[in-house]
Amino acid sequence: MLKKIHETKNAPAPIGPYSQAVEANGFLFCSGQIALDPASGQVLTGGVGEQAELVMKNVGAVLEAAGLKFENVVKTTIFLTDMGDFPAVNEVYGKYFKTQPPARSTVAVAGLPKGVKVEVEVTAVRG
């Protein structure tokens, strides 16, 4: 199996030993994105809605680097530090998946990198 690494400066650089995205057999597996500003590397302070907006922009930048769009996404996982934030995150998320939304899981976790409130990972497919 061949795999191709995709990366872009328009999304935050990895903060550990992983790739922004790996493509194999027509599938793109994107690492979770958090509310980090790609230019400064700083966490966006503010509400969970603002963080979710930046997260989705970062996801979009990784997809674009691989020549894909949100329409190519088939599965997402949302990680929240507070399930009470679900409605606000869902509102932002829905703006990016207006028709034929992907399969999705949403999980409450004890904590996320750099103290952010939300992380989103996606899997996309060519075709």
* pLDDT tens by residue, 24-59: 999 999 999 999 999 999 999 889 999 999 999 999
- CA 121 distance to own-chain centroid: 4
Task: State the pLDDT at residue 1.
Answer: 76
Percent of the chain as helix, strand, coil, to the nearest 5:
30, 30, 40
Residue 20, CA distances (Å) to 6, 9, 26, 82, 111 in order: 7, 10, 16, 25, 20
Q: Which parts of the chain sit beneath pLDDT 50?
A: none
Domain range enclosing 23:
3-125
State the total domains in the chain: 1
CATH label of the domain that carries residue 11: 3.30.1330.40
